[in-house]
A and B are shown apart, each in its own frame.
Chain A
Amino acid sequence: QQQVRQSPQSLTVWEGETAILNCSYEDSTFDYFPWYHQFPGESPALLIAIRPVSNKKEDGRFTIFFNKREKKFSLHIADSQPGDSATYFCAASHSSNTNKVVFGTGTRLQVLP
């Protein structure tokens, strides 16, 4: 059972456009939702994260929109740059950080100049 679903599998946008990556989850007890990005040959790195007490979290060009009722959240990358090209993973976990993180299947983002 895939607990965290992610779409699209791949996404191509032009430089300057907003890229939108989507995720949904099953377990309503998840309460921490990070996004990671992973460049080829590199390890995943935390990009931004949100807790359900908020429905929006911004960090520079990156914004998470969260809909607790529909159990969906999305990452918006504004003014996309070629350097943003990477694979992005949404994830979910429970409060205690000793609990495992459940990852989505990833979105391969390509930003064309």
Chain B
Amino acid sequence: NSKVIQTPRYLVKGQGQKAKMRCIPEKGHPVVFWYQQNKNNEFKFLINFQNQEVLQQIDMTEKRFSAECPSNSPCSLEIQSSEAGDSALYLCASSLLGKDTEVFFGKGTRLTVV
């Protein structure tokens, strides 16, 4: 069972509002991923971290999205100015380093932008 904790489970924001969601990775996992899963079940990779350092991120993330994984604090993903198209399930995942290690997903934050 995954021990990745995401809060809140549900988030409703108006267009243009800021949306922030948090993730506590499984204890001891240095690698954290954020994915967006849309209503068609399609996954889109957003960003990943090793400890506090960003490894990869997509262009979309660089513009309105920001994320961080500070030491001793939850990781967070923030959308500066929400758009209707941002409505989706945002999944955080974490893993240990190394080959063949499992990636564990949290239950996600379902964002609805009205």
Contact = CB atoms under 8 A, between A and B. Distances in A.
Interface stretch (B11-19, B70-78, B79-87, B97-105): B97-105
Contacts, number: 57
Interface residues of A, number: 24
Contacts of A89: 41, 43
A50 B79 CA distance: 35
B109 to A, nearest CB: 11
B107 A100 contact: no
Nearest to B107: A43
A103 interface: yes
A43 B4 CA distance: 10
Contacts of B91: 43-44
B42 to A, nearest CB: 6
B2 A45 contact: yes
A51 B99 CA distance: 10
Contacts of B96: 97
B interface: dominant SS: loop
Given A98-B48, A100-B33, A100-B48, A46 B103 contact: yes
A35 to B, nearest CB: 12
Interface residues of B, number: 28
A23 interface: no
Nearest to B33: A100
Nearest to B99: A95
Contacts of A98: 31, 48, 50, 55, 97
B100 A49 contact: yes
A24 B113 CA distance: 34
Interface string A29-54: 00010100010011111100101000
Interface of A: 32, 34, 38, 41-46, 49, 51, 87, 89, 95-103, 105-106
Given A45-B2, A97-B101, 4 more contacts: A42-B107, A99-B56, A101-B33, A101-B45
Interface of B: 2, 4, 31, 33, 35, 40-43, 45, 48, 50, 55-56, 91, 95-103, 105-108
21 contacts: A32-B100, A34-B103, A38-B41, A41-B107, A43-B105, A43-B108, A44-B91, A46-B102, A89-B41, A96-B99, A97-B97, A97-B98, A97-B100, A97-B101, A100-B56, A101-B33, A101-B45, A101-B103, A103-B43, A105-B40, A106-B42
